[in-house]
Amino acid sequence: MKNKKILLATIISATLPTALCEAQEVQSSMHKLLVPLRTLQPFLADEDKFTDSDNSDQIHEQLIALRRDFHSLERVPTHYKAQPGFQESINNVAELLDDASRRFDEGRKEYAWWRLQRLPTDCFSCHATYKVSSQYSNTAMVDESLSPLERARFLMATRQFTEAKKTLAASLKDPAYRLYDDQILRSLLLIETRISKDPKESLEMFKEILKSDTLPLDDAHTVTRWLKGLEAWSKSPPVREANKLSAGERLIRAGATRGIDFAQDDVALLRGTALVHESLEGGKLTEAQRRKAIYLLGYAYSNLPQFFTEGWDELYLEKCVEEFPNTQEAKWAYNIYSDKVMDEFTGSGGSNIPAEVKLHLEDLRKKAYGEKEFAPKA
């Protein structure tokens, strides 16, 4: 028995420092990202500031630091790299930063700013998907010149969820932000469904918000719909691991259904995406199932209203095209993606789309439909 205890102690002493070292290295790399991200906050919030030549040197310097420190994160050993989707998320953000930085240096500042709008939500997308235990508490890193909504966005991107909820809840009570109630409410629901995942607690929170009688009528109706969705969730049995993809698909398809007298079911869509993400994390999907899962995420996020998940739909729709070119899902994904980009830049049928964005769309289109369909006919 004594020898067994000695052996056990030896094993623990040999493995624990490595695990702790890896955890500390990941945390250290993440903390390095906070400084350049904080400095860039006011520029990401204001396109005019971002494109002002007087700010070019400062933005260039912070983009270099952000790229350097994010790429160092790619080399840090962590068990999350074994989980499907994690490395893709890291790669996507790294590519986003590389592309935006390159275009900024080329003078394509509008395009760079457009690309960087996805950064906070891409960060939160990863944080809301993987079960990372650590959370930051670094409110001093938030630029106080930002509006409460912009601060909350940064707090969500940096895993400061408790502070983000406080900031959002306080904004709801401030008449100065009455016009932004829909944004605030949707951010709160997002945290509740993707981070807290306690429908009973969420029910109580939104019931209290509804009792305040300060919400505009449309927002009050929206919260009433959410209460029905949360009530249904609170009564739903747990979903078995093997059934998460099919259950997520049912929720997404049901949630995306609209009618004359009802809108999409936001709670069902967010619940469905959570289950699909978890099925991807399980690592046991076939290629066909994975293709369906990634498409479903893009489809679901594209059906959620603005201020829920900006950029998440583009992330997964683009991923579907890139990973599964010339498939039916890739074609569906491209069609949704191109419609969204067109809407972002127009009122004039796409005539205001920057040349670089058009080239990006054309490249995706060729991948989605296959190069042969675009070859000149003899």
Number of H helices, E strands in the chain: 17, 0
Q: Quick check: is 76 in a domain?
A: yes
CA angle, corner 257, sides to 253 and 172, nearest 5?
100
User: φ, ψ for residue 354 (rounded to 5)?
Assistant: -60, 150
Q: Quick check: is 192 in a domain?
A: no
Token pair for 251: 């929720």
Q: Quick check: is 318 in a domain?
A: no
Distance CA 20, CA 102 (A): 36
Tally of structural domains, the chain: 1
Token pair for 350: 């796409």
Q: Quick check: is 357 in a domain?
A: no
Q: Quick check: is 135 in a domain?
A: no
Residue 95's pLDDT is what? 86
Q: What is the mean pLDDT of each run of 10 residues along the chain (378 residues)?
A: 40 37 49 78 87 94 87 65 63 86 93 86 70 54 74 81 87 85 89 89 94 87 95 94 94 90 90 90 88 95 81 85 95 94 68 82 94 52
Contact 103, 356 (CB under 8 A): yes
Distance CA 93, CA 119 (A): 7
Residue 16's pLDDT is what? 35
Q: Quick check: is 96 in a domain?
A: yes
pTM, entire model: 0.72
Residue 222's pLDDT is what? 93
* Residue given tokens 């079960």 in the structure block: 131
Return the CA Rg of the chain: 22
Q: Quick check: is 93 in a domain?
A: yes
Token pair for 48: 């005019």
Contact 152, 186 (CB under 8 A): no
Contact 203, 232 (CB under 8 A): no
Q: Quick check: is 11 in a domain?
A: no
Contact 90, 74 (CB under 8 A): yes
Distance CA 345, CA 172 (A): 30
| Domain that includes residue 100, residue range | 26-111
Distance CA 215, CA 212 (A): 8
Residue 81's pLDDT is what? 63
Distance CA 192, CA 151 (A): 18
